[in-house]
A and B are shown apart, each in its own frame.
Chain A
């Protein structure tokens, strides 16, 4: 697939307090034909890894349920660049183009809380 045919968008979640749920949503580009993958990053990787979980809803249908840990969607620097996207295993029709993330922060002894930012990337394939 030509790299120019993949759209990369993201939405930020500012985690400003511990043990709370933060929501964000955005609309996928109108030219997107299929949603093909996710990636999740943070400006504080340890926080995201130990403390984070999220629920992701696409087109009003739940894709990742509550308590789905962020570590399941993370990957390290040694993973090849073109493989850093978490493949959805099925291409999703955008439908109403709404993507929602409900990010939950929870205490963990290996990562003391300070405010941090979480970024959800959504990869889409251009319509033909």
Chain B
């Protein structure tokens, strides 16, 4: 009998369509799954290309909170603060590299995504999940909106006379995005069904 894959990847896409949305979802474990061995969560919420928004965020801002739990027991076994993608992948070491030539930069991008390793035995057919959107609660965004609102009501610039509507930063922020949950399972190999290996 030809060997089956001993590892299976499952992808669950969670769509967020409005601010502060709270979503309850379920994930069905694959058949013959022995153990959940890896978890990764990535949003496609990014402000990297949005000029107004990018100045309001730091890479430590939270896009949302995701939790995973065992069904009917409420036992949360995994929680993650999903961070906002700011398009800044240069770590502290790379920033200290001095450009050799004027006007040119030597850039390194050392980012790599990976799974959070775990060993959770699978006893149920389903897993429960919960996601809460917090993308509109970053400290920088709140203060920036307040600052812009103040400027719009009190001052003018040569390019924006009094009463001229300033760009609404809220409109520059995406409220439609997705969060992708990646799960890695160790499978009960077809050849081992009579003598299953414990997780």
Interface residues of A (CB under 8 A from B): 50, 61, 63-69, 71-72, 74-79, 88-90, 92-93, 95, 108-111
Given contacts A61-B4, A93-B3, contact A69 B9 (CB under 8 A): no
- Nearest-neighbor residue (CB-CB) of B12 within chain A: A67
For A90, the chain B residues whose CB sits under 8 A away are 5-7
Interface residues of B (CB under 8 A from A): 2-7, 9-11, 13, 40, 42, 44, 46-50, 87, 89, 91, 93-94, 107-113, 174, 180, 182, 184
Given contacts A77-B109, A109-B174, contact A63 B9 (CB under 8 A): yes
Within 8 Å by CB of B7, from A69, A78, A89, A109, lies A89
For A71, the chain B residues whose CB sits under 8 A away are 42, 113
For A77, the chain B residues whose CB sits under 8 A away are 107-110
Is B109 a contact partner of A76 (Cβ separation < 8 A)? Answer: yes
Within 8 Å by CB of B44, from A66, A89, A108, lies A108
Is B5 a contact partner of A78 (Cβ separation < 8 A)? Answer: no
A66 to B40, CA, bound (A): 16
Is B180 a contact partner of A69 (Cβ separation < 8 A)? Answer: yes
For B4, the chain A residues whose CB sits under 8 A away are 61
A109 to B49, CA, bound (A): 7
A50 to B47, CA, bound (A): 11
Is B2 a contact partner of A93 (Cβ separation < 8 A)? Answer: yes
For B49, the chain A residues whose CB sits under 8 A away are 109-111
A75 to B89, CA, bound (A): 11
A92 to B4, CA, bound (A): 9
Is A65 a contact partner of B46 (Cβ separation < 8 A)? Answer: no
For B46, the chain A residues whose CB sits under 8 A away are 50, 108-110
Within 8 Å by CB of B11, from A63, A66, A93, A110, lies A66
For B42, the chain A residues whose CB sits under 8 A away are 69, 71-72
For B50, the chain A residues whose CB sits under 8 A away are 109-110
Is A67 a contact partner of B180 (Cβ separation < 8 A)? Answer: yes
- Nearest-neighbor residue (CB-CB) of B89 within chain A: A76
